[in-house]
Amino acid sequence: MLLEGKTALITGASRGIGREIARRFIEEGAEVWGLATKPSEGAKELASFAEQKGTGYHELIADIGDAGMVQSVISQAVKDSGGFSILVNNAGITRDGLSFRMKLEDWNDVLRINLTGTFLVSQIVSADMIRKRAGSIINLSSIVGLHGQGGQVNYAASKAGIIGYTKSLAKETAGRGVRVNAIAPGFIITEMTEVIPEEAKKVWLESIPMKRAGTVTEVADAAVFLASDLSTYITAQVIGIDGGMGA
Ligand code: NAP
């Protein structure tokens, strides 16, 4: 098992990509703390799966865009877990709309949760990792952060910000045993992409060289690789998981 003896914190673990990363980490032997804004069925399923596998799953509730809440919930989780060896900053939202009529609130919410939330959680977890001189941080960016997407200026800016953040934090922590990488998925089937209108989905699928959407497991497998000791010389990288779309 690739992650035996490791402890992982995953934000946005109640569904979609985050839940599958949690499932795969448990399958590989990790003990997982999964965070979302409210209790979920997904968390219950992960807890019983972890029990079957002889490890543990712990549900955390917080809004990662709320600095006070992050401070209390994440600091406590760092204490309870004895410190995390893996952090996956996966929680994210969209508030799509054309730029000229986008409300400031929709701009601010997306930046606050996707980008500032990643910073707030990482700041607490990485301080402990640095003390221990070991850790792997994986941030969820997006192909949209690399190439842009009409109707998603707020989301694209947050995901491009995550790339700059990832590379900079990686440079700060590389000498202290902590690796920081980003994953940039293309079109993955989850609740986030279910809301895309059918016509727009068709156009997206046509533009993918592999002519299909990706699965959550295909993203989670890359997270397992980056979290594990199979990637000990990899830091400050952005791995595209997009069926060739970003090439
Ligand atoms: P999703 O199905 O919408 O799930 C989002 C997760 O984030 C949920 O667990 C949600 O939990 C959590 N979350 C949202 N706001 C939060 C907050 N303020 N505090 C804490 N948790 C919060 O999304 P997904 O499709 O799995 O995407 C996961 C990540 O991959 C996102 O960062 C997304 O931008 C990125 N991504 C996805 C795709 C794709 O095609 N799906 C492509 C590129 C990148 P609750 O709502 O239950 O609290």
- Tell me, yes or no, whether 39 lies in a domain: yes
- Tell me, yes or no, whether 127 lies in a domain: yes
Amino acid at 99: S
Instruction: Please count the structural domains in the chain.
Output: 1
Ligand 1: distance of its center to the CA of 22 in Å?
A: 13
Whole-angstrom distance, CA of residue 17 vs CA of residue 110: 18
User: Looking at ligand 1, which residue's alpha carbon is closest to its atom 35?
Assistant: 140
Provide the pLDDT for residue 194.
84
Ligand 1: distance of its center to the CA of 229 in Å?
A: 26
Provide the pLDDT for residue 193.
84
Whole-angstrom distance, CA of residue 4 vs CA of residue 126: 20
Confidence band (pLDDT; 50, 70, 90) for 192?
Answer: confident
- Tell me, yes or no, whether 246 lies in a domain: no
| Average pLDDT estimate for 53-78 | 98
- Tell me, yes or no, whether 1 lies in a domain: no
Provide the pLDDT for residue 197.
86
Active site members: 155
CATH of the domain at 146: 3.40.50.720
Tokens 């809440």: give the residue: 69
Provide the pLDDT for residue 196.
84
Sign of CA dihedral 235, 86, 160, 183: positive
Amino acid at 96: D
Mutation to probe ligand 1, out of 90, 143, 187, 218 (largest number of atoms < 8 A from CB): 90
User: Looking at ligand 1, which residue's alpha carbon is closest to its atom 21?
Assistant: 36
> How many Cβ atoms are within 10 Å of 76's Cβ, its own excluded?
11
226 pLDDT higher than 90? yes
- Tell me, yes or no, whether 71 lies in a domain: yes
Confidence band (pLDDT; 50, 70, 90) for 103?
Answer: very high
From the list 164, 143, 98, 118, the residue with the least C-alpha distance to 246 is 143
How far, in whole angstroms, is CA 99 from its chain's centroid? 25
- Tell me, yes or no, whether 247 lies in a domain: no
Confidence band (pLDDT; 50, 70, 90) for 66?
Answer: very high
69 pLDDT higher than 90? yes
Ligand 1 environment, Cβ below 6 A: 11-18, 35-38, 40, 63-65, 90-93, 113, 140, 142, 185, 187-188, 190-193
Whole-angstrom distance, CA of residue 22 vs CA of residue 12: 10
Ligand 1: distance of its center to the CA of 175 in Å?
A: 31
Chain segment 111-149, per-residue pLDDT in tens: 999 999 999 999 999 999 999 999 999 999 999 999 999
What percent of the chain lies above the pLDDT cut of 70? 100
Whole-angstrom distance, CA of residue 135 vs CA of residue 78: 13
Provide the pLDDT for residue 92.
98
Provide the pLDDT for residue 246.
87
- Tell me, yes or no, whether 243 lies in a domain: no
What percent of the chain lies above the pLDDT cut of 90? 93
Confidence band (pLDDT; 50, 70, 90) for 204?
Answer: confident
200 pLDDT higher than 90? no
Whole-angstrom distance, CA of residue 98 vs CA of residue 118: 25
User: Looking at ligand 1, which residue's alpha carbon is closest to its atom 8?
Assistant: 12
Whole-angstrom distance, CA of residue 10 vs CA of residue 88: 5
- Tell me, yes or no, whether 2 lies in a domain: no
Q: What end-to-end distance do the CA atoms of the chain give, in Å?
A: 32
Chain segment 2-58, per-residue pLDDT in tens: 999 999 999 999 999 999 999 999 999 999 999 999 999 999 999 999 999 999 999
| Average pLDDT estimate for 104-111 | 98
User: Looking at ligand 1, which residue's alpha carbon is closest to its atom 3?
Assistant: 192
Whole-angstrom distance, CA of residue 66 vs CA of residue 63: 6
Confidence band (pLDDT; 50, 70, 90) for 195?
Answer: confident
What is the extent of the structural domain holding 234? Answer: 7-238
